[in-house]
Structures are given as C-alpha cells and as structure tokens.
Amino acid sequence: MPMVTDLAHEGKTSPSKLLLPLSYASMFGGTLTLIGTSTNILARDLSARLATEHPELHAFSMFEFTALGTLVSVVGAAYLMTLGRWLTPARIPPREDLTEEFELQDYLTEVVVTPDSPLVGRTVAAALDETEFDVDLVQLIRGGRTFVEPLGPTQIQSGDVFALRTDRETLVEVVVAPRSSLVGESLAAANFRDRYDATVLALRRGPEYIRKRMEDAELQVGDILLVQATADSISRLNVNRDFIVAQEIERPDYRESKILLAVGIVAAVVAAEAAAQLGANAFAFVLAVTFAASTAFMTPVGYQTNLFVYGPGGYKFTDYVRVGGPLQLLFAVVTTAGIAAIWGV
C-alpha cells in the first residue's frame, strides 16, 4: 500500500484509482495456493474433517486449485484494467505532499499553550531551541491580536496560539487498524500525544477532513491520522498493531477474527451435505464456498485488505458496491464454470 500510494503521487494519479484495485488484486493472488489466505487453510481443515463421512472430500494440497485461481486472476485483472478502471473513483486528487493532500498548504497547524504548560513564562527562542523538531514559528495570536515580528524574546503566556510550519519529512500518514485498541476512543481520552510521542495534525475519515475538535472525535477503523513525530516515534508506530503506517515499511500481517467467516463456511458445509443428498460433487461445493469467501468485493469490511485501503483511498461504502458488484457477478459465473470444467458437478 505505501508503495502504490507513493507511485500514484509521483505519477500525478489519484491514489484512489490504484488502492482498491490493489486490494482486489491481492485477493486474486490469495486464490492461487493453499496458503494464499487464511480462508483457504480454514476450508482445508474443514474439508479434511468431513472426509471421514464423505470420501470424495479431502484436505486441499498446496496447488489443488491453482488452475482455477489462475483463471479468476486473469479474468479479474482484465476487469480491473477495463470496466473496473472506469468505475473506480478518484476520491483523492494527486498531491505534491501530505500538507497539500490534507489541505494544509497555508500553515501546518495551530498549537495552544495550556495553563499547565511548562512553556509558560519561557521565551519563544528557548522553547524552540529545545524542541526535537525543525519548526518555524509563523505567527503568534494573543488576545485577538496577531504578531508576526521576530518573537524570540517574547515570553510565552497561557492561551497563546502559535501558527507553526514544520519539516515535512517528520510527517506520516497513520491508518487506524482493525481491532485497534483506539477504536471508539478519542485522541484526548487515549492521551495520544504522550502515549505515542507524536502529534496529530489532521484527521481524514473517508473523503472527509476533521480538523475542528479533533481531540474529541471518536476514532474509527480506517481513519487516517496525519502525524508529526520523530523518526524513532514513527518506527515505534510502525510496529504497533494499532496502526498501519502508510509511508513506512509494511508491517507483517496479523491474525484477524474469523468468527463470521467460519460460521459462513460451516453453514455452507451443512449445505457441501445437501450436495451429497442430491448426488452432486461435494468437493465442488467446498471449492465454491472457499472461493466465494476469499473474494468478497462489495464492502470495505468484507475482507481485511478492503478495509486497509478504505481510509487511504478516501472511499465511500458505495464505491465498493459500484466497483465490486459487477466483479462479484463475473466471478460467480467464472468460478462456477471453472469448477464444473475442472472437477465436474
């Protein structure tokens, strides 16, 4: 995801045009081998358990359904490069850097000096000398008046508002990950600044930007935080499972709750029984369920990669229906026909 986002900006292309296809393509790839997705492994285990009652079933081998996976991958790629390319929206315009993307071109942020701040009574010059960041002071707002003259000797007072411009290399996009402990929490309640040694400058939820009362906004999965932090703090965020750092090395995948998926597969296996009663190929039913579970295109919560790109792409829920709906119907036909041709019914 970070690589594709960077490529989009370098090529003056909206990241939205690439991130949803990236998610779908990763799902195509998951259908090629047994270890492509955890869904495949779960289906393999269920198929092996049921083999005692249904001899035609067995545990999937590593490349059991590679031929079918290749077929759906080719068809899916063709769709994404033709009709899917036209249907995918450009929610986020290409920008030169994060300050433009978050519409913070004129100034980066305003900071308010609180009554209990250790800066109260100190000079601006002393405070700037001790900060870890490369910060430029643009102006001071005090008592409704704006001061732009050299402010180094000025003593900081409670209630002062400083407009700051900072080194853009200390900025990074952070996505609130699924199952993050911060979901439902506000930045203030989570004590984000002290807890992670990082400052949130802006918050984007889908295509909407939240700047006013950011500290009190309850965080949701997929929210994008524009964070200012030192390199060490960004590295710590990168290995924290609460976040996905969009401009850093991708973190290793982690286990997700598969309760709903497992229930769906079990229900289908109760049906992988109806097939036996009808004299149909039970293995074909198991494969159909496996591929259906691995290719949920129509919602951002249908698959974890869909959720990962939801915030960075600025997507709306309906975008997944618009782009994924036709693909879902196409795959229903292609998968069914492929299973019938390869394994029979």
On the CB side of 209, CA atoms within 13 Å amount to 13
Domain 169-245 in CATH 3.30.70.1450? The answer is: yes
Q: Does 76 have pLDDT greater than 60?
A: yes
Q: Are 100 and 55 in contact (CB under 8 A)?
A: no
Least confident range of 42-46, 71-75, 76-80, 276-280: 276-280
Least confident of 86-100, 215-229, 288-302: 86-100
pLDDT tens sequence across 168-209? 557 788 888 888 899 999 988 888 888 888 888 778 887 777
DSSP track, 300-313: TTSSHHHHHHHTTT
Reported as a pLDDT band with limits 50, 70 and 90, residue 275 is low
Average pLDDT, the chain: 81
pLDDT over threshold 90, residue 279: no
Do 98 and 173 form a contact (C-beta atoms < 8 A)? yes
DSSP state of 279: T
CA distance 300 to 21: 13
Copy the structure tokens of residue 119.
């800066």
Quote the pLDDT of residue 255.
43
Torsions phi, psi of 105, nearest 5? Answer: -70, -45
Note the pLDDT of residue 38.
84
Residue 135 near residue 128 (C-beta atoms within 8 A): yes
Fold match flag (98-168 vs 169-245): yes
CATH architecture under which domain 98-168 falls: 2-Layer Sandwich (3.30)
The answer on pLDDT for 304 being more than 50 is: yes
Q: Average of pLDDT values for 238-242?
A: 87
Query: For residue 250, what pLDDT is reported?
Result: 39
Q: Inform me whether the pLDDT recorded for 29 exceeds 90.
A: yes
CB 325 within 8 A of CB 298: yes
| The pLDDT of residue 330 | 96
Question: So where are the chain's domains?
Answer: 2-95+256-342, 98-168, 169-245
Which pLDDT score, from 0 to 100, does residue 263 have? 62
Of 10-19, 219-228, 266-275, the range with the lowest mean pLDDT is: 266-275
Predicted local distance difference test score (pLDDT) of residue 277: 52
Residues 17 and 68 sit within 8 Å (Cβ to Cβ): no
Judge whether 290 and 23 are in contact, CB under 8 Å: no
pLDDT in tens, 111-150: 889 888 888 999 988 888 877 666 767 788 888 888 867 7
Structure tokens at 10: 């370098």
pLDDT range class, residue 156, cuts 50, 70, 90: very high
More confident residue, 67 or 226: 67
The beta-carbon contacts of 196-200 under 8 Å, at least 24 apart in sequence, are 196/229, 196/233, 196/236, 196/237, 196/240, 197/229, 197/230, 197/232, 197/233, 197/236, 198/227, 198/228, 198/229, 198/233, 198/234, 198/237, 199/109, 199/227, 199/228, 199/229, 200/225, 200/226, 200/227
Show Cβ contacts of residue 216 under 8 Å, excluding neighbours closer than 6 positions.
Answer: 186, 187, 188
pLDDT of residue 66: 93
Asked whether the predicted pLDDT for residue 337 surpasses 90, the reply is yes
So what's the pLDDT on residue 96? Answer: 58
Highest mean pLDDT out of 19-23, 209-213, 280-284: 19-23
